[in-house]
Amino acid sequence: DTAVSQTPKYLVTQMGNDKSIKCEQNLGHDTMYWYKQDSKKFLKIMFSYNNKELIINETVPNRFSPKSPDKAHLNLHINSLELGDSAVYFCASSRSRHGYTFGSGTRLTVV
Amino acid sequence: QKEVEQDPGPLSVPEGAIVSLNCTYSNSAFQYFMWYRQYSRKGPELLMYTYSSGNKEDGRFTAQVDKSSKYISLFIRDSQPSDSATYLCAMSSGGNAGNMLTFGGGTRLMVKP
């Protein structure tokens, strides 16, 4: 009974393609997030979203866009993929100011 | 300079040792402090959560926060091989910025049998 699930786990794609990563949480949390983890294990916030507010890290290229059909889902859409987008992308959720619950990650490789 | 600094390690200790992991930070607005454990090819899992300064203990784990020094620590007593993982500190101001966490780069810990 996975709390935060993301699909796919692995994604290999060519430069220039458009791809989406899906995320769902069944914890009833009010806020969801996307983080990027680079090869040096550094986790960096990309987006924070609840049903009222989307907060975007200004360093994130506008090729990345979050889409939330409802409170339990926050998908990540990426246009015109570049080699530098290769990383592990983590979805997470939280309730108010409590700690996060992370998904198991999507390993994206752009070739 | 990163907002949160953490020695990447690796830190190698024998089984049963006491492990000390640390982070320093520069943003005095941080009030919520967390430690996450991340096994290889897995997502981070929350270990400890503390608010403001002080100590918190949970089993073999103790988290300490010293806001005056902008320094946080995680101690692991009687370390086990299963503790081998990357440990990430994280913090937030808890304000209206969507509760976004700022992470350290992680310390890789290896506990040898």
| Burial class of residue B58 in the structure, from the number of CB atoms within 10 Å of its CB (0-12 exposed, 13-18 middle, 19+ buried) | exposed
Confidence of residue A36 (pLDDT cuts 50, 70, 90): very high
Interface test with A, best of B56, B91, B101, B109 (most A CBs within 10 A): B101
- What is the pLDDT, as a whole number, of residue A56? 76
* Token couple for A87: 């990383």
Q: Check residue B53 and give its pLDDT.
A: 83
Please compute Rg for chain B using Cα positions. Answer: 14
Asked if B43's CB is within 8 angstroms of A48's CB, the reply is no
pLDDT grade for A23, boundaries at 50, 70 and 90 = very high
Distance between alpha carbon A51 and the CA centroid of its chain, in Å?
16
Name the minimum distance, in Å, from the CA of A37 to any CA of chain B: 10
User: For residue B34, what is the nearest residue in chain A, using CA coordinates?
Assistant: A99
Test B42 with A105 for CB contact under 8 angstroms. yes
Residue A40 has a pLDDT of 77
Is pLDDT of A69 > 90?
A: no
For tokens 């009687």, the residue is B78
Residues of chain B with pLDDT under 50: none
Residues B11-25: pLDDT tens digits?
999 999 999 999 999
- Which residue, among A48, A38, A16, A60, has the nearest Cα to A107 in the 3D structure? A38
Kindly determine whether residue B98 and residue A90, on different chains, have CB atoms separated by under 8 Å.
no
Q: What is the 3-state secondary structure (H, E, C) of B23-72?
A: EEECCCCCCEEEEEEECCCCCCEEEEEEECCEEEEECCEEEEEECCCCEE
In the structure encoding, which two tokens stand for residue A12, read together? 């290999």
Cα gap B113→B79, rounded to integer Å: 10
- Do residue B45 and residue A41 have CB atoms under 8 angstroms apart? no
Give pLDDT tens digits for A41-53.
Answer: 889 999 888 877 8
Measured at the CA of A93, the angle between CA B77 and CA B110, to 5 degrees, comes to 30
Smallest Cβ distance to A45: which of B36, B86, B100? Answer: B100
What does the mean pLDDT of chain B come to? 92
